[in-house]
A and B are shown apart, each in its own frame.
Chain A
Amino acid sequence: MNVFIQQLVDGLGQGSIYALLALSLAVIFGVMHLVNFAHGELITISSYVAYGLSTAGYGWEIIVPAILVTSIIASMAIEFLAFRWVRGSDEFTMLLTSFGVHFVVSALFLMFVSPKPLNFPKPSWIFNTIKVFGINLEIFDIITVVATVVTLLITVWILQKTMFGITLRAASLDFDAARLMGVKSNSVIRGAFALSGALAGVAGVFWLMRTGTAKPDAGLTPLLFGVIAVIAGGLESLSGAVIGGFALGIVQVMLRGYLPSEISGLTEGILFVLLAMLFIVRPQGLVSVSRAERV
């Protein structure tokens, strides 16, 4: 039982990162109908900022806010430099644009910084454990989950209680109708990219604390899991994205923990089989948005 609870908390910690990334992808999908494959670049760029600051002698108390600011600025810059020019184009064009941004950013770091992974020190407490009711839990997992819950609560408050959040939700439901009400498309899209960048920034902090590595494709793996989570949760549902993220993290850790060691290398493969089975049973993902209600 103790092992199961340890695995569950570990899964929640891993799932927290996926949930934040999935939510940040869902925010952009809502207003632009874009699955943003350039989103991983926010973590890639942040990883080099973390490496640079660490090399210059700064600690995580500086690196954490720097990652958050970097992620927000990078997200808005990518929107300004790439996506605003294809806004209103078909979804395939925007998807190709996001791939383009991914390859350009990776190539820039590859050519002008280093093709090799650059390591920087992880926080000293990352592997510390704490005993709760006799069960050893990683402090890092607990902090990740708590920080994620706080971030999600702040996000819910923004979406439910502020004019920006209400207009963002309206634009996600019907962009043209929102424009008819006077919502400025520039403002709402820029705001969505800023919010999305902030969420990815929080995820990036915990991902980079765990990996401690800057490399040209540093954001690729978390992006892929974020995309899987948002698709599993239901692309059009913000709550579905969060649920998908947590579910993915828990299933992934449980598979790693409980699969016989001879086939533990198949964890990701089995994960995709489970995902395919989910879509056979629920093609709309875990949480569906009722089209019938839309007039």
Chain B
Amino acid sequence: MLKVEGLTTRYGSITGLRDASIVVQAGEIVGVIGPNGAGKTTLLNTIIGLLKPASGTISFDDADVTALTPEAMLRRGVALVPEQRRLFTELTVEENLLVAGITCKASDRHERMREIKELFPVLGERTTMLAGYLSGGEAQQLAIGRGLMSSPRLLLMDEPTLGLAPNLISTVFDLIARLREDGTTLLVVEQNARRLLEIADRVYLLRTGNVVSEATADAFRGRENLFDVYMGTSE
């Protein structure tokens, strides 16, 4: 479904991502783990088109989508739930969803919004509330709801549990699993590697901009020294 080959992204003289290659098959949950500064967010931002790669290719459904705009990627069925949610805090919950539905047909937009509110009932209860006043868990539900407004076939999620209370973290992972059951393919960047391994099919490990390891989640789970692998003190 998604194939990234030899992707390099630079911020001026700094290389954020170096010759990275990953594959995501339809119906999978694929995890990307790694320490801070490993290039995880850079990978997602380059796939979605917020950053232009210096080299490499990205293909989606066998079509070259390298350096397409985020809007063009959305129209092809790829959406991103960004790091730290990036909600429009001075817009209401409903306005946030409306903006996220801009690529939908105008006639379908409200129907899609109704479906999202069914999936996240709390959003239905907070329709007219400014997004800046939502609690952390509610805000994350809105962020994911926005990502789903365009009915993506591939959803990229960047640190979806960052800053959430432990009970809410479980809720988010349950939701990710449920989205896969509903037919959405997911590429999830997450610091909480142990929890991600519980639901992911395969995992890529990034370190200092490089993909240093790729394995099934079972293979990663079987490694007792996961922390050392994660931090680079053991392969």
Listed in ascending order, the chain A residues whose CB lies under 8 Å from chain B are 163, 166-167, 169-170, 173-174, 176-185, 289-290, 293-295
Contact = CB atoms under 8 A, between A and B. Distances in A.
A294 B69 CA distance: 25
Interface stretch (B83-91, B121-129, B199-207, B216-224): B83-91
Nearest to A169: B91
Given A173-B90, A182-B74, A182-B102, 8 more contacts: A170-B88, A170-B96, A174-B86, A179-B71, A180-B82, A182-B150, A294-B89, A295-B132
A295 B133 CA distance: 11
B90 A179 contact: no
Contacts of A181: 74, 99-100, 102, 146, 149
19 contacts: A163-B102, A166-B91, A166-B98, A169-B88, A173-B88, A174-B86, A179-B69, A180-B48, A180-B70, A181-B102, A181-B146, A181-B149, A182-B150, A183-B71, A183-B102, A184-B69, A185-B69, A293-B89, A295-B87
A182 B87 CA distance: 14
B91 A173 contact: yes
A179 B89 contact: no
B95 interface: yes
B90 A289 contact: yes
Nearest to B87: A295
Interface of B: 48, 50, 69-71, 74-75, 79-80, 82, 84-91, 95-96, 98-100, 102-103, 106, 132-133, 139, 146, 149-150
Nearest to B103: A182
Contacts of A166: 91, 95, 98-99
Kindly name the residue among B48, B86, B96, B150 whose own CB sees the greatest number of chain A CB atoms within 10 A. Answer: B86
A29 to B, nearest CB: 15
A47 to B, nearest CB: 37
A182 B70 contact: yes
Nearest to A179: B70
Contacts of A163: 98, 102, 106
B85 A176 contact: no
A184 B72 CA distance: 9
A32 B88 CA distance: 17
Contacts of B89: 173, 293-295
A216 B8 CA distance: 50
A287 to B, nearest CB: 12
Nearest to A165: B95
A174 B90 CA distance: 11
